[in-house]
Structure formats: structure tokens, C-alpha cells
Amino acid sequence: MVAGAASLMFVAGAAFAAEEPPAPNAAAALVAEGVDGELLWRRAARKPLPIASITKIMTALVVLDRTKLTDTVVVSERAAQIGEATAGLRPGERLTVEQLLTAMLVTSANDAANALADHVGRRGGVKRFVTLMNRKAEAIGMRDTQFVRPDGLDVEGHVSSASDVMILARRAMQNQDFRRIVQLQEGALPGGRGFETTNDLLRSYAGATGVKTGHTSDAGWSQAASARREGVQLYAVILGGPSRERRNSDLAALLDWGFQQFGRVDVVHGGAVYARSKIPFDDDRRLDLVADRSVSRIVQWDEALVERVVAPAMVSLPVVAGQELGSVQVMDGDEVIAERPLIATESISAATVSNRANWYLRQALDHASDAFGRVLGVLP
């Protein structure tokens, strides 16, 4: 076997613009690729800041971990009295976990967040629920976060960072119930209490899929946003924007920039010739080895990948068409991101006695001719 390597550069031509990302008006911001959370751009991403109702992403995760959507929650008097954004809950009202999650995540209802916290916290109440929130944060790798309330209303010590918010949002979007709810543009509770989403991007940004907004006097206008286009998933976070409109436009600009950086391409091409192996006793022929099928991956347009081909310099006969005789790998640094076998394009029988004899005869004649040439001084 012999191995060879070549560098590959994926470029989107005119569609790719190697430009700096837009400059958002915010205390902290980032944009990240959604598969592995790689940060494409960031500013003050580890700075602890108030995050307002983005907190409710964690509230939802803890609730989903410990309840069923069909469980019944009795709204406490304390929860019903929570102010700011509310769903108009009434003390003693009985609602399902799903109804309260929808009110909390779609219209950012503080009373719904507290009703759920009371229910899950049980005798330990909100204090125990917040402990569960912080344990969950630590477990999923949020290093800059401390939760004090389940609703995100301003209180000293309740902080997170843009980086942690992205970690939280990606984790939550892996839950199909959470993902379904945060894509809703409207919802309703019994008694004609209808409400609309606070996530304006769901209506205005093509491909938007979630996740949660936040606004208080301390936190400013903040949001974790996600979007998907042509198989590429991105996240953008804005913390501390000056207005709802500017937050929305900055998020859209960051996502647009992110989508310019990535695309889905074939990193292995099915049917393409990756190696040509010698055939025993036939100096004039080569056996083409091709990838058995294509493999597509999401890559950064200007990313340099390494293609590594392992194939025999000379095949052993007989060979059957479709027989695996090598492999092609595509590597991003030390990571193999794609690998496919190389297969023979044709069948070749074992060499006959006559083929072998003729080949040896030609070799002998070639050697004799070379020797004679050197004797005469014709060859070096």
C-alpha cells in the first residue's frame, strides 16, 4: 500500500465574502456554528452580564428533565402575583406543564416560570428549583453563570455570559419538545388568553428556528437566536442591546455573515478516480480506483482540509469490479471528517501463463537492449 496526501481548499467563489463581521451595538455578542458550537466571531463572550428572560431556557430544561408535558400544575398565589410580562395566571388555576412552558417560552410569562418552579421545587419551592438550575448549568459546562431567579428578573448576582448562553441554547434545542415550542409564533391559555411570540426573527428572518428573548432595565435588549439554511445551523447571541429593533437587526446581520462563511459541499466525490494502480504483467494498463459514493459535510468556505489516499501501488490479481482496494480520508486538522473505501472499476483476471511469459520476455529484451546500449556508449 502507498499513501498520499493533498490539501483541499473550499471556496464559494463570488458567494463568499472574506469580510469582517458586522459590529453589533451590544455589551457582548457572538455567532457560532451549530453542530459543534465553534465560535466564528465573539466580543466579550465570557463577560458575566444580566440575561433577563433568556434565563427561562434553563428553567424549561429543568422542568423538562423532571416532569411530563401532561402533568398538572396548580398555580400558587405567589406565582400569580409576579409582575412584568405575564400570562394572567390566577391562584389555584390548574394548567398542564406544556401550557405553562408555552406561555413562558413564547410570550416570556414570568408568572408561568414561577408556577413551574413552585411545582418542580415542591416543598423546597423556588429556592430548591434555583439550586437545580445551577447544578444543571455546571453539568453542561456553563462556567460564567449564576442563577438566582427562574424568571430572569433583575436581581443582584443573577448573571451569565454570551458564551454560556450559546451553550445553553444549543443544549435546549436538542430537546424536541423545547425546539417545537420555541418555534411557535403564538399560543393561548384557557379563557381566551391569547399571546404572540416575543421573538421577532421568527417572522422576519428566513430560516429562524428559535430560541429566546430577554429584556429588563439591567440586561437591556438581549436574545439567543438560532437559524438554519441549506443544512447549516447557526446560533447568534446579543446581550445588552440598546433597543428591540437594533437587537433584531444586529442578530440578523450576524447570522447573515455566519451563513456566508459555511456551506455544504461534497468532500468526497463518488465515482471520482483517487488512485491508479499498476496491473501485474501489463505495463501499459492501470486500474482506476474510485470512491464508492459521495460524502457531503458542512465546511467553512475558505477552510483548508487534507485529503489522504491509501491505495496499492500494484494490485494482486484477480480483481473483481467493486472490490475494495484502498480508502480516501478527508481531515480537518487531526480529525477525520469523512472516509470512504476505494473500489475497482473493472474486473481483471489472473494473468495467464502466456501473459507472464510474454511479460518476462519483454523485460529481458529491455534489459538486454539497455546493456547493449551502454556497451556501445549510446546509453549513459
Domain that includes residue 102, residue range: 26-241
Q: Which of 53, 161, 222, 226 is catalytic?
A: 53
**Distance, CA of 257 to CA of 264 (rounded, Å):** 16
> Are 131 and 210 within one domain?
yes
Q: Give 231's DSSP letter.
A: T
Q: Which of 214, 230, 211 is nearest to 222 (CA)?
A: 214
End-to-end distance of the chain based on CA atoms, in angstroms?
A: 33
> Are 286 and 211 within one domain?
no
Cα distances from 196 to residues 80, 199, 200, in angstroms, run 20, 9, 10
Residue with cell 416575543: 198
Residue with cell 451553550: 167
> Are 76 and 142 within one domain?
yes
At 21 the pLDDT is 85
**Distance, CA of 186 to CA of 333 (rounded, Å):** 45
pLDDT in tens, the chain (380 residues): 666 655 565 544 434 445 788 999 999 999 999 988 889 899 999 999 999 999 999 999 999 999 999 999 999 999 999 988 899 999 999 999 999 999 999 999 999 999 999 999 998 999 999 999 999 999 999 999 999 999 999 999 999 999 999 999 999 999 999 999 999 999 999 999 999 999 999 999 999 999 999 999 999 999 999 999 988 999 999 999 999 999 999 999 999 999 998 888 899 999 999 999 999 888 888 999 999 999 988 888 877 899 999 999 999 989 999 999 999 999 988 889 999 999 999 999 886 655 555 556 565 655 655 555 555 555 45
Residue type present at position 28: A
> Are 205 and 168 within one domain?
yes
C-alpha cell at position 134: 445551577
- Does the active-site annotation cover 7? no
> Are 179 and 319 within one domain?
no
User: Strand 28-33 vs strand 232-241: parallel, antiparallel, or unpaired?
Assistant: antiparallel
> Are 332 and 218 within one domain?
no
> Are 84 and 138 within one domain?
yes
Q: Which of 39, 43, 85, 20 is nearest to 238 (CA)?
A: 43
Q: Which of 113, 96, 95 is nearest to 104 (CA)?
A: 113
> Are 271 and 169 within one domain?
no
> Are 55 and 188 within one domain?
yes
Q: pTM here?
A: 0.77
Q: Give 14's DSSP letter.
A: G
User: Strand 282-291 vs strand 273-279: parallel, antiparallel, or unpaired?
Assistant: antiparallel
Residue type present at position 217: S
What Rg, from alpha-carbon coordinates, does the chain have? Answer: 31
Q: Is 43 helix (H, G, I), strand (E, B) or coil?
A: strand
At 8 the pLDDT is 62
- Does the active-site annotation cover 56? yes
At 17 the pLDDT is 46
127's CB contacts (< 8 A; 6+ apart) are: 121
Please check whether residue 140 is in contact with residue 167, taking contact to mean a CB–CB distance below 8 angstroms. Answer: yes
- Say if 284 falls within a structural domain: yes
Q: Give 299's DSSP letter.
A: E
> Are 235 and 274 within one domain?
no
At 13 the pLDDT is 40
- H/E/C letters for each residue in 58-101? HHHHHHHHHCCCCCEEECCHHHHCCCCCCCCCCCCCEEEHHHHH
Q: Which of 76, 108, 161, 163 is catalytic?
A: 108
Please check whether residue 63 is in contact with residue 116, taking contact to mean a CB–CB distance below 8 angstroms. Answer: yes
**Of 241, 256, 286, the domain-final residue:** 241
- Does the active-site annotation cover 53? yes
> Are 173 and 292 within one domain?
no
> Are 174 and 314 within one domain?
no
- Say if 322 falls within a structural domain: yes
Q: How many domains does the chain have?
A: 2
Q: Which of 148, 166, 165 is nearest to 157 (CA)?
A: 148
